[in-house]
Amino acid sequence: MAEHGRPAVGMPAPEIVLPDLHGRTWELGDHLGRTVVVVFHRHIH
């Protein structure tokens, strides 16, 4: 890990578990070996 707990370039990503748009659980580890793009955004009401 690099400073501030951020993963360093070239290092494996930490495990991420998030809900998808349909409320189902999505786990990064289920996509090992595939190219994955995770977009984080802030939704403001």
Look over the chain and give the mean of its residue pLDDT values, rounded to a whole number: 81
Residues 6+ away with beta carbon under 8 Å from 24? none
| More confident site: 9 or 27 | 27
Model pLDDT for residues 3-22, shown as the tens digit of each residue: 556 778 888 888 889 888 89
pLDDT of residue 5: 67
20 contact partners, CB below 8 Å, separation of at least 6: 26
What does the domain layout of the chain look like in residue ranges?
1-45
pTM across the whole model? 0.54
